[in-house]
Structure formats: structure tokens, C-alpha cells
Structure 1
């Protein structure tokens, strides 16, 4: 059990009171027991101490910890950053026994790094290379030629396709699929979709068409310190690899299409969809359910609010919102105008009525 002193040192934070007090877990103030570290990085959470039994807490700067009935306190100038360090300390992680489990199936040509842990019902194909201290939980499949970096964590049921390259310290959550075929099909004649792209809606002739598969010969390359959420899907490239840059984080249910290039330190929130061959710059943040059209470029440091649909190139640093995406401030003005429409319609109707009566009197 860590002491208050050890936690404060790890966080680079100031602590006061009984620094040798030990805690077992983190808890909300109202739910905290005497061996818990209560988390109240904002004054609005202070009321919870009246019903909880915490002796120590992680508090906002300047908090009167003694008035809260505590024996020790750690002060966090930046609460969520302190949360990152604290949760890292207290997270025991998945229980995967060291070595290769007897019920794992590992091809003789695969190379398993020193200190790696391979769980039960894992399948590792020919020519696979697993890095040092990598941990692979149960029911994961790693197809032929894949490379997984040092200190990787691949969780239950993830699927790693052929020739996929995963960087060091990657985390892949349960059910993610990396390296499935891209969604690429073509018709013998010009398809209805191609016609609509050219005419923007006009269809002169409609004919029966069948779809011919374009096979995916590329794979997926993912950098270091990347996290892939549960049930996310990253498609392999058609010829070149689909690429995810260092430090990028993907939430659950994110879909990255074939040939997409995503830069470094991006944040792609739940249900984001990026269509084939789009390019995403560095440090881009896409809120939940954002969609990005195929073959466009989203510049560095773009931020797109939830459900935004980006259909054209977005310049670096732009803040976007809406469908189709516009500057956030423009979208806000548009929404204000929409709310005024009923009142405006009533005003127009009254004016029409007044004009009509004036015409009758003449």
C-alpha cells in the first residue's frame, strides 16, 4: 500500500499532514473509507467529506484539509494530470502469467521477446515478432508477419492482421481489429456514385451494376505510445500501409479506413469515422461521431466538435462544428439564426397580412 509521501513524490505534488499514512485505493469523497484516498480536486466535491470516512485526500490548491476532518492531504494544481499519475500508480493491470501459456498456439518461426507474457487461447502466426515484456491476453490472434513492439499490451479478443506493425508501449483494448481488408470495390462501367460526384445530384441514366473487389495488399503501421479502443477497426491499405502516428489515441468504435494517414498525438473520440485515403495532421482532436470524407486533408491542430462532418480540406488550427463543417463561431451564429426563424416567420406573416389589407383598401 503506498503512503501519502510516496504518492506525492510520484506526482511531484505538495503534501501535508501524516505523510506515512497508507491508502489502498482511490474513491469519491462520499464513498471513501478510512483506507481510501478521496479525490476532490475541485471545491464542488467538498460536501462529500461530510458523509464519507476518508482520512486522506487529493485536493484542490489552498484547500483547508484540517477543516475537512482529514489527517493528510495532497494538493493537485492540475487535477486531471494528477489523476493520470495516481491511476497509473494504483492500476494493477491485467493478470497475465509470464511466459507462454500451455494453451497458446505459437508458430515455431515466431520470435517471442524476453519477459513477454502470452495468455491462453492466443494464436501467433508464422514469422511474428513479439517485443520484450509485451503482454498478450487470452483469445488474441496475431497473423503472419506481424510485429508487436516492446512493452505492448494487447487485450482480450483483439485481432492483429498479417504484416501489421505495432510500436512500443501500444495498448490495444478488447475486440479491436487492426489490419482487416479495406472497403474497396469498383464497377466495370462508371458507377452511380462516380456520376453523382461529377454532377452533384443529376442522374441521367440508371443501370444495374455489380461490384468487383479491390484486394488490400498493404497493411497497417502504428507508432509508439498509441492506444486503440475497444472494437475499433483500422483497415489495411490497398498498396501502401494505413499509418497511425506516435502518441495518437483512438476511442472505442473508431473506424479508420484504408490508406488513411493519421499524424502524431491525435485524439479520435468514440464513433469517429475516417474514410479512405484521408490525411489527418498532428495533434488533431475529433470529437465523438465526427466523420471525415475520403481523400481530404485535415491540417495540424484542427479541433472538430462532436458529430461534425468534415467534407473538404480543413486548414491547420481551424476549430470546426456542424454538418457540413464550418468555423465554430459561424456555426453558433447559424444556430442562433435558426432559433429566430419562427419569430421571423411570424413577423413576415404579419407584414404580408398588413400589406394585403393595405392593398384591399386602395
Structure 2
């Protein structure tokens, strides 16, 4: 639905310039903006693109000249990224859940499951025995939810999400398409020492002897516990714990194609970027940020407020508040010093 600049600015706690009664119905990049769009021109570098567009309204920087930009009205955004968060939320028509709360006739729901008021359940959803779906939850087509699983209020499960048995999820949860939560962990053992154990103790140049290669599955009985306001990206996986739950704290944000292994604990407000992996039984403190394609080996502790750069591999415990880079991951100043030293070796 179209919204006025005045209402949008009020939702952001921002100020307006010019005609605040202008109606806009879509966000757009400056060069592609039409007359009814709100162009996102949050810095002076977008001025020329804005002038060349048909936009009448835009989000602009402090001190922008409306007449020079050819605008009739604008919203001033001193914190552009924060403004983007508020505007995209306000303008999201969310076509995946455009209908009224209802339960589709093709959904298969066990008679012992409970569905909260205002829930919206799409076609071909399967909900297991004694599962509980919170009020105002939205569940897209082809989602499956296992027995004894709890989904919190106002949660959103996009198409194809799979949630196993004995999973507890708090309020405000979002899972993008194809996410899998509560699958078995990758946990196997052998009757004797495996070649991994032998390799650690082996002598240089001595080949490993043949081993009994039969792998015996260790089953995952612990489920998963997820706090409030957690988001999990498309095709990411969170494995169930072995005998206790894998735990994800409040406010954690997980990108696409991320793997959280069995028994892992993620502290509050962690942020894990695409293709990150955290191996079994490792613990990440609050507010850890992991760049794309980074990883943490098993049974390690990463302290609070640690930043792991993209592609880094954490192989030892990391203390609080350190920025690490490289493989094996090391404090960023040490990693950069090492790179400089290698470059000096190649100079004549």
C-alpha cells in the first residue's frame, strides 16, 4: 500500500524535507526510480543518478538541496543502513503470506498438535504429534515440523523448511527456504582407533596401517534449542545434539549455506556469514562475527566479541575481543605482519 513520506519518516524517527504528503509505493535505486518510488540516495555520490531519474521523492543525506536534485520531498537519513532496515520492513508486502490467517485443506496436522490463534499454514505442511505452533506463526508450503517440537509466536517458516523432533524455537523466528533444523549430527566411531587418531600420533614418513573401516553411528537424541528473534538463512543446517541440545542464543543471525554441528553453543547476537561451519561441541561467545567461508574446529571455545575474517580457520581457543585472520587463524596484526615478511623474502 502507498505510504506518505511523513508516515515513513515517523517510523524511522527521521525528518522530512519539502512535501511530506507525497505517496510512495516502492523502494528503488536512484537511477531506476519512477515517479511513485522512494529513491534510496543516501550519500552525495548518488546525486547525479538522482537528477537523471524520474523520482519525486528520495531518502537523502543531511544538507541535500531538493531543488538541485529535482525532488519535491525527501526523508533525511543520518544513519543510512539503519534507515534501510526500517524502510524495507515498512515497504515489505511479503507475497509469500499475503492471505488471511488460515490452515490449508492439504495440510496434515496430527490431532495431538496445537495451533495458536492467528496462525497461517500453507499447502502440504506436515506437523507431527504433540507439536505446538505459537500464535501468529506463518508456515509456507511444504514445511515439515517433527513431533514434540515447539515453534514460538510470530515465527515465519518459508517454503521447504524441515524441522526435526524435540526442537524448541522461541518467538520471532525466521527460517528461509530449505533450512533444516534438528537433523542428526555427523557423529561416528570405530571399534578401535581410527586413522584420524592414528594420524595424530604417527611418525613422519610412516604409512598408516589398515584399520577396521566400519563406522558406528552415534545417534542424536538431544534436539535443538533456539532463542528469540533468531534468523536462519536458506539451505543452512543446525544439527541436533547427541544427549543435550544444540543451543542458539537470542538474536543470532545465520546466513545461507551455514552448518552448525551437534552440541554447538552460539551466544547471543552472533552473526555467521555464508558457508561458515562450526564443528561439534564448540562454543561461541556473545556477538561473535564469522566472515564467509570461515570455520571453527571441534571442541573449541571462541570468546565474546571475536571477529573471524572471511576464509579463516579457527584451530585453537580464541580469547575475548580478538580479530583473527588466516589459516590457521591468528590475531590480525600477526597475520598481516607474516604476509609482509613473506613479501620481503621475494624482493631482490
Tell me if TM exceeds 0.5.
yes
Report the 3-state secondary structure (helix = DSSP H, G, I; strand = E; otherwise coil) of the residue aligned with 1:329: helix
Give the one of 277, 285, 310 matched to 2:314. 310
User: Cα gap change, 1:205/1:57 in structure 2, threshold over 3 Å: closer, same or farther?
Assistant: closer
Give the one of 141, 147, 152 matched to 1:149. 152
- Structure-1 residue corresponding to 2:36: 35
Aligned runs of 1:279-358 on 2, under 5 Å? 279-343=283-347, 347=348
User: Take 2:203 and 2:52, find their aligned partners in 1: how far apart are those partners?
Assistant: 63
- Structure-2 residue corresponding to 1:360: none
Give the one of 113, 117, 131 matched to 1:114. 117
User: Take 2:62 and 2:324, find their aligned partners in 1: how far apart are those partners?
Assistant: 34
Indicate if the aligned counterparts of 2:195 and 2:211 stay in contact, CA closer than 8 A.
no
- Structure-2 residue corresponding to 1:354: none
Which 5+ residue runs of structure 2 have no aligned equivalent?
none
Give the one of 211, 222, 232 matched to 1:208. 211
Give the one of 231, 237, 242 matched to 1:238. 242
Give the one of 224, 228, 231 matched to 1:227. 231
Give the one of 257, 261, 264 matched to 1:253. 257
User: Cα gap change, 1:240/1:271 in structure 2, threshold over 3 Å: closer, same or farther?
Assistant: same
- Structure-1 residue corresponding to 2:64: 63
User: Cα gap change, 1:203/1:218 in structure 2, threshold over 3 Å: closer, same or farther?
Assistant: farther
Output the aligned Cα RMSD.
1.3
Q: Shift of the alpha carbon at 1:71?
A: 0.4
- Structure-1 residue corresponding to 2:166: 163
- Structure-2 residue corresponding to 1:88: 89
Report the 3-state secondary structure (helix = DSSP H, G, I; strand = E; otherwise coil) of the residue aligned with 1:99: coil
Report the 3-state secondary structure (helix = DSSP H, G, I; strand = E; otherwise coil) of the residue aligned with 2:181: strand
Report the 3-state secondary structure (helix = DSSP H, G, I; strand = E; otherwise coil) of the residue aligned with 2:16: strand
Report the 3-state secondary structure (helix = DSSP H, G, I; strand = E; otherwise coil) of the residue aligned with 1:216: coil
- Structure-2 residue corresponding to 1:351: none
User: Cα gap change, 1:44/1:101 in structure 2, threshold over 3 Å: closer, same or farther?
Assistant: same
TM score, norm. by length of structure 1: 0.93
Which 5+ residue runs of structure 1 have no aligned equivalent?
348-362
Report the 3-state secondary structure (helix = DSSP H, G, I; strand = E; otherwise coil) of the residue aligned with 2:34: coil
Indicate if the aligned counterparts of 1:96 and 1:119 stay in contact, CA closer than 8 A.
no
- Structure-2 residue corresponding to 1:73: 74
User: Take 1:125 and 1:339, find their aligned partners in 2: how far apart are those partners?
Assistant: 59
Report the 3-state secondary structure (helix = DSSP H, G, I; strand = E; otherwise coil) of the residue aligned with 2:333: helix
More off after superposition, 305-314 vs 88-97: 88-97
Report the 3-state secondary structure (helix = DSSP H, G, I; strand = E; otherwise coil) of the residue aligned with 1:335: helix
| Structure index of larger Rg | 1
- Structure-1 residue corresponding to 2:274: 270
Indicate if the aligned counterparts of 1:96 and 1:136 stay in contact, CA closer than 8 A.
no
User: Take 2:91 and 2:270, find their aligned partners in 1: how far apart are those partners?
Assistant: 26
Q: Shift of the alpha carbon at 1:51?
A: 1.9
User: Cα gap change, 1:39/1:200 in structure 2, threshold over 3 Å: closer, same or farther?
Assistant: farther
Report the 3-state secondary structure (helix = DSSP H, G, I; strand = E; otherwise coil) of the residue aligned with 1:240: coil
Indicate if the aligned counterparts of 1:179 and 1:220 stay in contact, CA closer than 8 A.
yes
Q: Residue 172 in 1 paired to residue 186 in 2?
A: no
* Paired residue total: 344
Q: Shift of the alpha carbon at 1:196?
A: 2.5
Indicate if the aligned counterparts of 1:119 and 1:138 stay in contact, CA closer than 8 A.
yes
Q: Shift of the alpha carbon at 1:337?
A: 2.2
User: Take 1:202 and 1:299, find their aligned partners in 2: how far apart are those partners?
Assistant: 37
Aligned runs of 1:174-193 on 2, under 5 Å? 174-193=177-196
Report the 3-state secondary structure (helix = DSSP H, G, I; strand = E; otherwise coil) of the residue aligned with 1:100: coil
